[in-house]
């Protein structure tokens, strides 16, 4: 399909309209013209569906140092300490900014209401409307962005390639769903804020747009990808025939919900002293083991012991959604199972969002700053989007006076023959919660046999399938190379954490081997 030069050539190109992208756009607005691209509707992102809240050390009995300790502990030896320190130190100011811009977080009287979630040592998690935190933060950022004439947002515009110039990034090629064609967009600096990759898996809490585009396209452009083997599986997604794989927030267990097996017995005490408040990877694996032990396909999430009316008022969105599918959480337990939820790894960046390619930045879930290590602490992701979106925006402003680069021609791409359903099932079965060398090698063999050079591409979904295929391959390669179990990465053939792998994985286009270092 022909590529035409778009008349929209902004100073700054932001790819993604979630929390990280919009926060960066706010930071860039005073430095030049900003174009924000949304693959679907502007609000269709993981940020919109984030229920669990946002963590920051603002409570009277909390400290930045305690938030730092909890984040490091969850990261299982792989956190970048400088990145964590920046997150927790700048987190309170990021929340205060949102409050100034009109964010309506839940309160008890005039005081902000803080909840405690799994692996947090203090009550430091803010919510909005009980379980609509991401939606409220997006609304606040959107309102702020919309008041600035130098920022323009285009919906239904998906990136298909990054444009290169001698190792630097000169802009991007986009598939314009309105026109049904490809356009080239030139920019002085480009930010990847494309979100997650959960749709690679058959069971996921992520929206349909989370197809790993940023990771796949950065890799294709020669940019370093790090720690991509670490995929977090949320323990409690609704499992009902005919119902979506809807997330039932961590905060439910934080408020005292129980996990029960099909016999009605609580079981988490057999797997962790923290029981239901153990880190997500521990809870997910414990649930899988319990389902295997009892020969069932789900676990019961039980809130029926809570006071009448509490669940409906505290978690209205969750309560109403479950009720729509025949589950009254105040009267009956909900069947749940783990589902792919969050990627700790991604496009490798420094703590200012700079990638290994000049003029390319990344922030939010697509990025790997090292802040999450091998396993993300609950409710740190929205905070990361705010803090590192702002940091990337400030770093990008330094290129406001730079000259534009002339893009090199776009090379041919490889498109998969494998159908999406088969790809997602393969990822779930072979690259999921529990892995082995055998399953990972089988996955790689099937993935390598399922590609072709030439295919007539005419839809966004075909580009997304290509990206999902690439991301699945990167996860399999990195997981196979990491011969240990750490954080969210668990191998039956290497069940122990090994000191020699207390390093970050790095993959780059053209290099066969996965490297460990930095």
Of the chain, the percentage scoring pLDDT greater than 90 comes to: 81
- pLDDT of 154 > 70? The answer is yes
Q: Tell me how far the alpha carbon of residue 276 is from its chain's centroid.
A: 23
- pLDDT of 83 > 60? The answer is yes
3-state SS assignment for residue 87:
helix
pLDDT of residue 317: 87
For residue 2, what pLDDT band results from cuts at 50, 70 and 90?
A: very low
Residues that are catalytic: 280
**What distance, in Å, lies between the first and last C-alpha atoms of the chain?**
41
For residue 254, what pLDDT band results from cuts at 50, 70 and 90?
A: confident
Q: Concatenated DSSP letters for 13-78?
A: EEE--SHHHHHHHHHHTTTS-EEEE-SSSTT-SGGGG--S-EE-S-STT--HHHHHHHHHHHTTT-
pLDDT of residue 160: 94
- Is domain 236-337 annotated with CATH 3.90.700.10? yes
For residue 129, what pLDDT band results from cuts at 50, 70 and 90?
A: confident
- pLDDT of 291 > 70? The answer is yes
In 29-63, which positions are buried (b, 16+ CB within 10 angstroms) versus exposed (e)? bebbbbbbbbbbebbbbbbbbbbbbbbbbbbeebe
Q: How far is 287 from 280, CA to CA, in rounded Å?
A: 10
- pLDDT of 213 > 50? The answer is yes
Cross-sheet strand order for the sheet of 34-37: 151-154, 34-37, 12-15, 189-192, 360-362
Q: Which residues pair with 107 in a beta bridge?
A: 112
- pLDDT of 101 > 60? The answer is yes
DSSP H or E segment with residue 443: helix 437-448
Instruction: Locate the domains of the chain by residue range.
Output: 3-197+344-399, 236-337
Q: How far is 223 from 214, CA to CA, in rounded Å?
A: 11
Q: Which residues pair with 226 in a beta bridge?
A: 346, 506
What is the pLDDT averaged over residues 164-169?
96
Contact criterion met (CB below 8 Å) for 213 and 175: no
pLDDT of residue 245: 87
Question: DSSP secondary-structure letter at 277?
Answer: G
How many angstroms separate the most distant Cα atoms in the chain?
Answer: 67
**What are the helix and strand counts (H, E) for the chain?**
13, 25
For residue 94, what pLDDT band results from cuts at 50, 70 and 90?
A: very high
Residue with tokens 């990206």: 467
pLDDT of residue 44: 55
- pLDDT of 56 > 60? The answer is yes
Closest CA to 8 of 34, 32, 27, 31: 34
pLDDT of residue 5: 45
Q: What is the pLDDT of residues 217-241, one digit of tens each?
A: 999 999 999 999 999 999 999 999 8
Phi, psi of 187 (to 5 degrees): -150, 160
Q: How far is 241 from 258, CA to CA, in rounded Å?
A: 22
Q: What is the pLDDT of residues 328-387, one digit of tens each?
A: 999 999 999 999 999 999 999 999 999 999 999 999 999 999 999 999 998 999 999 999
pLDDT of residue 284: 92
Helices (H), 295-373: 310-314, 316-324
Of residues 480 and 451, more confidence is placed in: 480
- pLDDT of 454 > 80? The answer is no
- Is domain 3-197+344-399 annotated with CATH 1.10.150.120? no
Q: What is the pLDDT of residues 395-438, one digit of tens each?
A: 999 999 999 999 998 877 778 888 999 999 999 999 999 999 99
Highest mean pLDDT among 3-7, 47-51, 245-249, 260-264: 260-264
Contact criterion met (CB below 8 Å) for 470 and 224: no
3-state SS assignment for residue 518:
coil
pTM score: 0.92
Closest CA to 335 of 251, 233, 429, 261: 261
Average pLDDT of the chain, as a whole number: 92
Of the chain, the percentage scoring pLDDT greater than 70 comes to: 95
pLDDT of residue 49: 52
pLDDT of residue 459: 83
């Amino acid at each position: 399909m022909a590529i035409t030069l778009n008349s929209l050539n902004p100073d700054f190109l932001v790819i993604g309209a979630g929390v990280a992208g919009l926060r960066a756009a706010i930071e860039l607005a005073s430095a030049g013209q900003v174009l924000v691209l949304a693959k679907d509707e502007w609000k269709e992102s993981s940020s919109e569906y984030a229920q669990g809240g946002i963590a920051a050390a603002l409570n009277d009995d909390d400290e930045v140092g305690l938030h730092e300790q909890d984040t490091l502990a969850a990261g299982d030896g792989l956190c970048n300490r400088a990145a964590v320190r920046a997150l927790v130190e700048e987190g309170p100011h990021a929340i205060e900014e949102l409050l100034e811009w009109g964010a309506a977080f839940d309160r008890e009287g005039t005081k902000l209401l803080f909840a405690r979630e799994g692996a947090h040592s203090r009550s430091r998690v803010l919510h909005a409307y009980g379980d609509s935190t991401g939606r409220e933060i997006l609304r606040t950022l959107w309102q702020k962005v919309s008041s600035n004439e130098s920022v323009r947002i285009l919906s239904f515009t998906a990136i298909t390639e990054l444009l290169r110039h001698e190792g630097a990034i000169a802009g991007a090629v986009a598939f314009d769903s309105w026109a049904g064609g490809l356009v080239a967009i030139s920019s002085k600096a480009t930010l990847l804020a494309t979100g997650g990759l959960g749709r690679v898996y058959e069971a996921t809490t992520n929206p349909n747009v989370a197809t790993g585009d940023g990771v796949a396209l950065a890799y294709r452009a020669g940019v370093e990808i790090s720690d991509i083997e670490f995929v977090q599986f949320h323990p409690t997604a609704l499992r009902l025939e005919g119902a979506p794989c809807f997330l039932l927030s961590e905060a439910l267990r934080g408020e005292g919900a129980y996990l029960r097996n099909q016999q009605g017995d609580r079981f988490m005490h057999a797997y962790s002293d923290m029981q239901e408040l153990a880190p997500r990877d521990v809870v997910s694996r414990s649930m899988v083991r319990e389902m295997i032990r009892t020969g069932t396909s789900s676990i019961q999430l039980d809130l029926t012991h809570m006071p009448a009316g509490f669940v409906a008022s505290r978690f209205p969105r969750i309560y109403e959604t479950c009720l729509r599918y025949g589950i009254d959480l105040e009267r009956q337990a909900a069947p749940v199972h783990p589902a792919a939820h969050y990627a700790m790894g991604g496009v490798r960046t420094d703590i200012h969002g700079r990638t290994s390619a000049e003029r390319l930045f990344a922030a939010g879930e697509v990025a790997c700053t090292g802040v999450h290590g091998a396993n993300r602490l609950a409710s740190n992701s929205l905070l990361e989007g705010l803090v590192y979106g702002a940091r990337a925006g400030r770093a990008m402003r330094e290129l406001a006076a730079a000259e534009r680069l002339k893009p090199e021609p776009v090379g041919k791409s490889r498109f998969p023959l494998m159908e999406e359903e088969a790809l997602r099932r393969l990822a779930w079965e072979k690259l999921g919660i529990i892995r082995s060398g055998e399953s990972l090698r089988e996955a790689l063999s099937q993935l390598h046999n399922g590609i072709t050079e030439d295919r007539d591409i005419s839809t966004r979904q075909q580009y997304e399938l290509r990206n999902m295929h690439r991301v699945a391959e990167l996860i399999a390669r990195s997981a196979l190379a990491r011969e240990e179990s750490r954080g969210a990465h668990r191998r039956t053939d290497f069940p122990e954490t090994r000191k020699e792998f207390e390093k970050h994985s790095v993959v780059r286009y053209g290099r066969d081997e996965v490297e460990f270092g930095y």
